[in-house]
Amino acid sequence: MSAPNSLALAVAQLNPTVGDIAGNAEKARRARAQAASQGADLVVFPELFIAGYPPEDLVLKPAFQAACGAAVEQLARETADGGPAMLIGTPWLDDGKLYNAVALLDGGRIAALRFKVDLPNYGVFDEKRVFATGPMPGPVNFRGVRLGVPICEDIWGEEVVECLAETGAEMLLVPNGSPYWRQKGDVRLNIAVARVMEHSLPAIYVNQVGGQDELVFDGVSFGLQADCSLAFQLPAFQETLAVTHWTRKGARWHCEQGPMVAVAEADHADYAACVLGLRDYVNKNGFSGVVLGLSGGIDSALCAAMAVDALGAARVRCVMLPYKFTAQESLDDAAACAKALGVQYDIMPIAEAVKGLESALAPAFAGKPRDVTEENLQARARGTILMALSNKFGLMVVTTGNKSEMSVGYATLYGDMNGGFNPVKDLYKTEVFRLARLRNSWRPEGALGPAGIVIPENILLRPPTAELRENQKDEDSLPPYAVLDAILERLVEREEPIAAIAEAGFDRETVLRVERMLNLAEYKRRQAAPGVKVTLKNFGRDRRYPITNRFRDPGTPLPAPDVSLVSGKPVKTEAFDF
Which residues are catalytically annotated? 47, 116, 152
The rounded Cα 135 to chain-centroid distance in angstroms is: 30
Contact present, 241 and 258 (Cβ < 8 Å): no
Structure-derived torsion over alpha carbons of residues 526, 425, 308, 398, reported in degrees to the nearest 10: 20
**For residue 566, what is the DSSP state?**
-
Q: What is the CB neighbour count within 10 angstroms for residue 366? A: 7
What count of Cα atoms within 13 Å lies in the side-chain half-sphere of residue 68? Answer: 29
- How far apart, in whole angstroms, are the C-alpha atoms of residue 547 and residue 562? 31
Q: End-to-end CA distance of the chain: give it in Å, rounded.
A: 60
Q: Which residues pair with 395 in a beta bridge?
A: 289
Q: Which H or E element spans position 185?
A: helix 184-199
Task: Read off the amino acid at residue 297.
Answer: G
- How far apart, in whole angstroms, are the C-alpha atoms of residue 289 and residue 181? 26
Contacts of residue 437, Cβ cutoff 8 Å, sequence gap at least 6: 460
- What ranges make up the beta strands (E) of 154-239? 171-176, 203-207, 209-212, 215-218, 222-224, 230-233
Structure-derived torsion over alpha carbons of residues 215, 341, 286, 209, reported in degrees to the nearest 10: -30
Nearest 5°: phi and psi at 319? -130, 125
Residues across the chain = 578
- How far apart, in whole angstroms, are the C-alpha atoms of residue 96 and residue 98? 7
Cis peptide bond N-terminal to 16, omega within 30: no
- How far apart, in whole angstroms, are the C-alpha atoms of residue 137 and residue 116? 9
Contact present, 411 and 417 (Cβ < 8 Å): yes
Q: Which residues pair with 323 in a beta bridge?
A: none
- What ranges make up the beta strands (E) of 14-108? 42-44, 85-94, 97-106
- How far apart, in whole angstroms, are the C-alpha atoms of residue 285 and residue 542? 23
Q: Which H or E element spans position 9?
A: strand 6-13
Whole-Å CA distances, 360 to 196, 363, 364, 412: 69, 7, 8, 20
